[in-house]
Amino acid sequence: MEKTKHSLLIWGLGLSQIVGYGTLYYSFSILAGDTTKSFGQTQSWFYLIVSIALISGGVVMPFAGRLFDHFGAANLMVVGSALSAMCMAATALSTTPMLFALAMCAAQIVSSMVLYDAAFTAIVQSGIGASQNRIMALTLIAGFASSIFWPFTTLLDSHFGWRNTMLIYAAMNLVFCLPIHLWAAQAGGRVKHNEVPRVPSSPDTLAEPEMDRATSLRLMILITAGFSLTGVTLSSILSQMVPLLQSLGLGGSSLIVSTLFGPAQVAIRGVNLFFGKGQNPLTISIVALSLLPTALLLLALTAPWVAGAVVFAVLVGLASGLKSIVQGTLPLAVFGRVGYGARLGVMSGVRYVLAALAPFTFAWSSENFGPRIAAVIFSFIGIVGVLCFFEVARLLRMRGGLGPV
């Protein structure tokens, strides 16, 4: 009975992540064209608003992380669902560019209460054990968000327009996500992890239980920088994958090629769930995040060759699928469960702020230097991020708290 309840908790949170990411993140690149036309603005203006909105969400993440630890992440997700619906409705009803921008910022601020970081913390706080494996299972389910919502948003937009699409998405947050989060708050319970002692033999921990403050701070900075810089590369791709492929000459194939991202993301999460148990999350981080700069360089060199674009979409899907997992499992493995929500909030805040600059800067770079040069620039940003994890591996190996990487 208890095992069934735990499985239902993961499936419920997975469904809420599909709707959450589909409505609050993946829909923007599809609606960008009609939105900018309705306000008489440019694409760069739209992605500047998206960047400012994502920065707003990132700024509040450290605060949200502390709230997760204090009140329980599942409880905050209930509030976040209701607020997300209100903010999306406000976006749809905006009559001026300024009101639209304010509504977008509000939506991204409250999204910090319902997306992965909140869900990961809710799993860790549920006290059901094997947190890393359950985080993998959650991301496997949620991996369908882009494959479902890119074509779904295109369909809704073509028939009802961007404003009605936003209203439909607001309703979905109320109808689907709110009841799920209410049930999760009741079923999952809450563990005050600031009071949980670290156990050296815990399967959720790679490093030694005792870590000096200087080493802990250095590891925190390196891991945060690694995820943030590679997040800039990934955000630049995901925020405008379809427009990017179109600008490189893929034409009508762009939407079809982009949908390969979702299946690849889900497939690699499934492989990792069944065959990656016990694997070092740092090893997975290095391998996965190396695929992002590789994918962008490949696209820059091969476009408009469709086969090259297909490989690009698949590689990005593989990288994104694993990145979503290791952003939750690597901090847990290195630092343990104590203060997990607050630590994840700080990391996510920095990651969100830097990644928020990517949509605008990538669009600006594409307009001024061309999409190929922009792809090369952002691939090198990703390479620097990967190098941070090699330094993490070196530091942990020196401490003897890490297996082979």
The confidence band for 200, taking pLDDT boundaries of 50, 70 and 90, is very low
Predicted confidence band of residue 196 (pLDDT cuts 50, 70, 90): very low
| 254's tokens | 């762009």
**Three-class SS state of 149:** helix
Q: Is the pLDDT of residue 189 over 80?
A: no
Of 362, 326, 361, give the one whose Cα is nearest residue 347.
326
68 assigned to some structural domain? yes
* 339 band by pLDDT with thresholds 50, 70 and 90: confident
pLDDT at residue 127 above 60? yes
Q: Round the average pLDDT of the chain to a whole number and report it.
A: 84
Burial of 201 (0-12, 13-18, 19+ CB in 10 A): exposed
pLDDT at residue 275, as a whole number: 67
Query: Residue 152 has what pLDDT?
Result: 93
Q: How confident is the model at residue 402 (pLDDT cuts 50, 70, 90)?
A: low
In a domain, 198, yes or no: no
**What pLDDT score does 258 carry?**
80
Query: Would 196 be classed as within a structural domain?
Result: no
* Confidence tier at 50 by pLDDT (50, 70, 90): confident
For residue 161, CA distances in Å to 30, 41, 276, 344 come to 11, 17, 43, 37
By residue range, what is the domain housing residue 263? 2-189+205-399
Query: Is 320 a domain residue?
Result: yes
Which of 131, 118, 113 shows the shortest CA–CA distance to 6?
Answer: 131
CATH number, domain of 96, equals 1.20.1250.20
Q: Which residue has the higher pLDDT, 56 or 4?
A: 56
pLDDT band at 208, cuts 50/70/90? very low
* Any domain includes 339: yes
Confirm whether 84 is domain-assigned.
yes
Phi–psi pair at 210, nearest 5 degrees:
-105, 125
Q: How many domains does the chain have?
A: 1
Q: What is the mean pLDDT of residues 226-239?
A: 89
Residue 3 has pLDDT above 80, yes or no: no
Q: Which pLDDT value is given to residue 391?
A: 93
Asked whether the predicted pLDDT for residue 81 surpasses 80, the reply is yes
Quick: pLDDT tens for 354-398: 877 887 788 888 888 988 999 899 999 999 999 999 999 998 888
pLDDT at 203 over 50: no
Q: Which pLDDT score is estimated for 202? A: 45
Mean pLDDT in residue range 320-344:
84
For 294-358, give the secondary structure using H, E and C.
HHHHHHHHHCCCHHHHHHHHHHHHHHHHHHHHHHHHHHHHHHCCCCHHHHHHHHHHHHHHHHHHH
> Do residues 223 and 108 lie in contact, with contact meaning Cβ atoms separated by under 8 Å?
no
Q: Say if 197 falls within a structural domain.
A: no
pTM of the model: 0.73
